[in-house]
Amino acid sequence: MRVDFIYIIMVGLPARGKTTLSGKLQDSLRRDGIRCRVFNNGDLRRKLTKDNTSYPEFFDPKNKTGAALRERYAIMNLNHARTFVEGNQGKPKAAIIDATNVSAARRRMLLSELPAERVLFIECINEDRDILDENIRYKVCTPEFSHLSTEEAITSFRKRIQYYQGIYTPLRTERNFVKVNTFHYRILEENLNDGLPFYDRIRDFLVTPFIKNLFLIRHGETYFNLEDRIGGDSGLTVGGLNQARALAGHFEKKRIPLIFTSDRQRTIQTAIPIQEAQQGCKIMPLEEFNEIDSGVCEGMSYAEIRKKMPHVSSARKQDKYNYVYPEGEGYVTMEERIKRGVKKVLYLSSHSENIMIIGHRAVNRMVLSHFVFKRKEDVPYIYVPQDKYYHMAINQNKKLFQLKKYA
């Protein structure tokens, strides 16, 4: 019996989402009963070299010692991948070789050792400056850079990227490849010359957001909430702070590496106790998650708006989704920035088991509707309480969506 196997070789500059994609792809293929393992060159280098190899010149192609060492790890990893695929015959297998592999020479070397008709190259592309900056800022928090200040580490990492840029040859002549925009989940180019096993599944995976657990929380009670006032930057009440503490207790046993908030104090104040109950957790405020800007109505209560600006209240009632506050926003105009915020979250949270967003009422409605189909006219009425949160889990086979009480 012939059993299927595939070698997947990642290609792309650092910080383009290769490792995240590899980890998610591994999970997805395993769920389909395929034995899959990721072989990461960087992990091998960090494990086997005692010396510091994080400084940029190590990656300078002219640095003979660095280049030889990296080549050695590439070959070692390739051999590990081959042993994995060739061993324990009789099971379908996929080996993912996760490294930059940006030079044509490196790829030729890999291909000379593998059956080319069983190799799929996946090139990860993302040129969104903003996302790259944030990703680099997050990446340099790893132990590899702990001897440097954040700014020094960022400079060092950028320099490393430049060295890779100097030898980068995008995929063009390889037999089987796919180029993917890892920020937008979009296939940019495909070139398939062999009927590669599992390819239909892999292709579908590349364009599907994949979320193990996403906890979507609304900030705790604020002074503005007590008066039914909208917008502003009000802080949490004692009740709100208690809600934040209850959330911290509720999530204590889960590992939350990153909490995404808006840049308003009510979401950050809700995040702080949760962060404090975790180890190595970072709060990342994103302005994409700021509450709907109610323009001339900022700081007013709904009753005041009804009284002083009845035209606003009635027009909004007529078509809440499309209504745009004078000098402000509407649900309709929030759509783009919320989408961008969600993509940022998915990109920056890598392959985390748990992702947390602490947002606002209108924001959370829009985030929910990004994942779960709702008619537009129903989106502005989605229930977003402060004593419960939404738990979502999404992959190619399921979509879980649950409202849970935390206290």
Positions 232 through 291 that interact with ligand F6P (CB under 6 A): 291
Structural tokens at position 32 = 């389909």
Q: Which of 18, 45, 70, 360 binds ligand F6P (CB under 6 A)?
A: 360
| DSSP 3-state of 272 | helix
Instruction: Confirm or reject binding of residue 294 to ligand F6P (CB under 6 A).
Output: yes
* Minimum CB distance to ligand F6P smaller for 17 or for 231: 231
* Minimum CB distance to ligand F6P smaller for 78 or for 230: 230
Decide the pairing of beta strands 119-125 and 282-285.
unpaired
Q: Please provide the DSSP assignment of 99-160 as one string.
A: S---SHHHHHHHHHHS-GGGEEEEEEE---HHHHHHHHHHHTTSGGGTTS-HHHHHHHHHHH
Q: Is there a contact between 389 and 406 (Cβ–Cβ < 8 Å)?
A: yes
| DSSP 3-state of 8 | strand
Q: Is there a contact between 368 and 217 (Cβ–Cβ < 8 Å)?
A: no
Q: Taking the complex as a whole, how short is the minimal distance between the CB of residue 287 and ligand F6P, in angstroms?
A: 15
* Minimum CB distance to ligand F6P smaller for 123 or for 329: 329
Positions 377 through 396 that interact with ligand F6P (CB under 6 A): 380
Q: Taking the complex as a whole, how short is the minimal distance between the CB of residue 291 and ligand F6P, in angstroms?
A: 5
Give the CA count within 13 Å in the CB-facing half-sphere of 203. Answer: 15
Q: Which of 361, 366, 369, 392 binds ligand F6P (CB under 6 A)?
A: 361
Q: Is there a contact between 324 and 312 (Cβ–Cβ < 8 Å)?
A: no
For ligand F6P (CB under 6 A), the number of binding residues is: 10
What does the per-residue mask of binding to ligand F6P show for 213-232, with x meaning CB under 6 A?
A: ------------x----xx-
Scanning 51-59, 123-131, 143-151, 356-364 for contacts with ligand F6P by CB under 6 A, the matching segment is 356-364
Instruction: Confirm or reject binding of residue 110 to ligand F6P (CB under 6 A).
Output: no
Task: Identify the residue whose tokens are 């990109």.
Answer: 347
The residue ranges that bind ligand F6P (CB under 6 A) are 225, 230-231, 291-292, 294, 360-362, 380
